Amino acid sequence: MSSQWHRWSTPFPKIGIRPTIDGRQGVRQSLEEQTMEMARKVASLLSERLKYPNGESIECVISDTCIGGAVEAAASAHKFRKEGVGVSITVTPCWCYGTETMDDDPTMPKAIWGFNGTERPGAVYLAAVIAGHNQKGIPAFGIYGREVQDAKDTDIPADVEEKLLRFARAAMAAALMRGRAYLSLGSVSMGIAGSIIDESFFQDYLGMRNEYVDMSEFVRRMDREIYDPEEFKVAMAWVKRNCSEGADNNPQDRQRTQLQKDGDWDTAVKMTLIGRDLMVGNPKLAELGYGEEALGHYAIVGGFQGQRQWTDHFPNGDFMEAILCSSFDWNGIRAPYILATENDSLNGVSMLFNYLLTQCAQIFADVRTFWSPEAVKRISGYELTGPAKDGMLHLINSGPAALDGTGEQSRDSQPVMKPFWEIGDEEVEACLQATSWRPADLEYFRGGGYSTDFVTKGGMPVTMTRINLVKGLGPVMQLAEGYTVELPVHVHETLDQRTSPTWPSTWFAPILTGKGAFQDVYTVMDHWGSNHGAISYGHIGADLITLASILRIPVCMHNVRESNVYRPRAWSAFGMDDLQGADFRACANFGPLYR
């Protein structure tokens, strides 16, 4: 069996901490230790609380000296380039020379913490250097504690800590995407706009490249056995032990024979190995004489077209998508991959945003049906209560809902979705037992295959998000925080039978605000900008808004409290009474991060 292949074949970006200082002799000496201690405390906070996608602690790099002027700023920038820094945080307890000490890299996400202490005016420096950033067109996040601290206090107040962590999570997500690839496995699926790859979006907004592979490459690799044969044997044995077949809903006279179904499993597992190897490579292939194939395409996210040119003839990609998107497979517990069905690159990117902010597996789903309380009662006799009392959305799609989405992982006896390093073997077993693999609906998938079938447990806080492209405007983000809903079994089955019972279901109740797109649940559905959504564990809307502002993507729809919205200070210059409009104006003014 292959060892852990090189998913992250280049080093992760680091966070650079810049201690800036008043360069005047005498003043500087009195502040050196306090300033450097601020930097050390911030580095310690971020390394203790944040992790890379492989589960290791985020690395921070501190400038060699405090930065009192342009020479030391340049030396710090040189060190950061050598160390692979992708995020910049400046800290200071005092006045410094603003534009002489600032980080002027226009593509480096940056934040500045100005200490709130009246003995030395850190807040004055913060205001001055933010003004310099704004004037130069390099937006930066300002961090200023609410309460005055004593001059020698080196603690990080709770509100400052919250902003440091929110900025760092979002900025690291942006840095992790930069230079990576989106891999299209096939082309446009059934006219879905999201699978029309817009290279300028990936290049200008995300700093990513686009890679393309025709689906015939799967056939070539299957026919010529360009995959690890030992791993294939292990995978097939694992599937036989852990993946139970569910009922076949196809008419009996149209059902595939057991021999055909067994062949579908063989193909599905090979597709999974091949899809993964195409994304990230596999050194084992070089040992088999396939050096180029062993490299992969440096993809942090991908999408499989499938329908219909593939699925009219071959087994569908549902198993590949669901298993790769999950946090485990025959090799054990590991980080999930991000693979979108129907090559919906925009939903793939939405899944990627969610994943990089949480390190949790993602659910890809159709935003399929709004169920009003009246409709549910009319059809099932059941009266919705709790978070769903005003109605709910049925999120359902055939393939790439990670098995983590069953909700069979737990924390404090509550259903959750966890980063892979927190998942236990018993939780993997529970996720597998809660999932059945149903023979594909042959009306949809003429070539056969298997689809995941599970129901997400209720009570989980989740966030649904989506990136859409609008001609003349560019990308926009929409998001909705809410909760998963658990229905009585007979109610779920009654409603589920009206669509395809062979697919995984997540019942979702968005949090309502009583206004705009969140006036009621119907309005949320009516405002959703595409047929797909990416669903992440946790209420992460505030982090998504911060990430969107770093990338200069305006947010057209959200239900996050205004007090939790955190964007660069420059955004306040674009209007205070219409924050959503200010976001659009600021993003348009500064333009994509990498253009």
CA-based R_g, the chain, Å: 25
* Residue (of 430, 439, 533) closest to 481 by Cα position: 533
- DSSP designation for 4: -
Give catalytic status of residue 496 as yes or no. Answer: no
Q: What would the two tokens of residue 47 be?
A: 């390394």
- Bridge partners for 393 per DSSP: 370, 508
What are the E-state strand segments in 447-592? Answer: 450-453, 461-470, 474-485, 505-510, 532-537, 555-557
To the question of whether residue 366 is assigned a binding role by annotation, the answer is yes
In this structure, is the dihedral angle defined by the CA atoms of residues 273, 278, 282 and 286, taken in order, positive or negative? positive
CA separation for the pair 549, 174 (Å, rounded): 11
Q: Cα dihedral angle (371, 375, 379, 382), rounded to 10 degrees?
A: 80
The SS3 of residue 211 is strand
CA separation for the pair 200, 292 (Å, rounded): 27
For the residues of 446-459, what is the DSSP string, one character each? TT--EEEE-BPPSS
- 495, exposed or middle or buried, with CB in 10 Å at 0-12, 13-18, 19+? buried
CA separation for the pair 103, 115 (Å, rounded): 18
Find the catalytic residue in 103, 161, 204, 366: 366
308 preceded by a cis bond (ω within 30 of 0): yes
Find the catalytic residue in 342, 408, 441, 496: 342
CA distances from 72 to 333, 537, 539 (A): 45, 43, 40
CA distances from 455 to 299, 394, 445 (A): 30, 11, 22
To the question of whether residue 6 is assigned a binding role by annotation, the answer is no
Give catalytic status of residue 342 as yes or no. Answer: yes
To the question of whether residue 223 is assigned a binding role by annotation, the answer is no
Q: What would the two tokens of residue 291 be?
A: 């050096």
* Residue (of 568, 147, 55) closest to 333 by Cα position: 55
Residue list, annotated binding site: 342, 366, 532
Residues annotated as part of the active site: 342, 366
Binding site feature residues for Mn(2+): 342, 366, 532
